[in-house]
């Protein structure tokens, strides 16, 4: 009888101990599953945030921001800064910019050095405004022989031959770079107005 009582007590303890272990294991498993769900939710939220950030980054920037991104337009950007015209191209008004490359500016370096002097700021502004037309004019809008009035006041002449678009003799090497406030056409040389 005493043997049965001991056996009964051991069995009760075994069941109780097993039950506690089972409950603890279930709690641990539940905690593990919860942490997996939280980690999964966080990963999905991070992925969604990255998609939104990538979408915003893919939107066209202003003309000023686009020009600053293109290393071959760094001289133009410096000239715009010296002429205090950068803010004009950050606004919402639409413009078309015929943007000379660094190499184009280098071919007239003596003139560039002269124009960048503080006392020649108005001349520099005139030269830069001569490269800008009001409104967003895409390359498909340009016609051979067309005259387009610049912000400086004088006109540029468009010529199209053998599929090449020229602006006052400067070749458009990259057309239709989009911006949120217009369009940029990269050209092979600096065009100079009659009046500076």
Q: Which of 43, 59, 75 is the last residue before a domain boundary? A: 59
Question: How high is the pLDDT of residue 95?
Answer: 94
**Same domain assignment for residues 54 and 73:** no
**Same domain assignment for residues 124 and 171:** yes
Question: How high is the pLDDT of residue 131?
Answer: 96
**Same domain assignment for residues 103 and 158:** yes
**Same domain assignment for residues 87 and 52:** no
**Same domain assignment for residues 4 and 85:** no
Q: 2-38: buried (b, 16+ CB within 10 Å) or exposed (e) per residue?
A: eeeeeeeeeeeeeeeeeeeeeeeeeeeeeeeeeeeee
For residue 25, give its domain range: 1-59
Question: How high is the pLDDT of residue 57?
Answer: 52
What's the rounded Cα separation, in Å, for the pair 160 and 180?
Answer: 27
Tokens (6 digits) for 69: 């991104």
Question: How high is the pLDDT of residue 107?
Answer: 96
Question: How high is the pLDDT of residue 29?
Answer: 79
Predicted confidence pLDDT, tens digits, the chain (196 residues): 454 444 344 444 444 444 445 667 787 777 777 677 766 767 776 766 666 655 545 556 888 888 888 999 999 999 999 999 988 888 888 999 999 999 999 999 999 999 999 999 999 999 999 999 999 999 999 999 999 999 999 999 999 998 899 999 999 999 999 999 999 999 999 999 988 7
Output phi, psi for 173, to 5 deg. Answer: -90, -30
**Same domain assignment for residues 81 and 48:** no
Question: How high is the pLDDT of residue 163?
Answer: 87
What is the number of domains present in the chain? 2
**Same domain assignment for residues 89 and 50:** no
């Amino acid at each position: 009888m005493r043997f049965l009582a001991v056996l009964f007590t051991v069995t009760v303890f075994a069941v109780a101990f097993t039950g506690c272990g089972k409950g603890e294991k279930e709690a641990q498993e539940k905690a593990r599953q919860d942490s997996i769900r939280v980690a999964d939710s966080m990963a999905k939220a991070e992925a969604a945030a990255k998609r939104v950030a990538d979408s915003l980054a893919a939107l066209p920037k202003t003309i000023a921001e686009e020009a600053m991104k293109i290393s071959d337009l760094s001289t133009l950007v410096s000239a715009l800064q010296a002429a205090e015209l950068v803010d004009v191209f950050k606004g919402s008004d639409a413009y078309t910019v015929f943007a000379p490359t660094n190499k184009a500016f280098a071919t007239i370096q003596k003139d560039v050095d002269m124009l960048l002097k503080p006392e020649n700021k108005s001349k520099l502004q005139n030269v830069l405004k001569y490269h800008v037309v009001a409104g967003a004019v895409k390359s498909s809008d340009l016609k051979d022989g067309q005259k387009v009035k610049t912000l400086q006041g004088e006109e540029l002449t468009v010529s199209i031959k053998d599929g090449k678009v020229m602006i006052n003799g400067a070749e458009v090497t990259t057309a239709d770079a989009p911006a949120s406030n217009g369009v940029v056409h990269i050209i092979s040389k600096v065009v100079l107005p009659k009046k500076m």
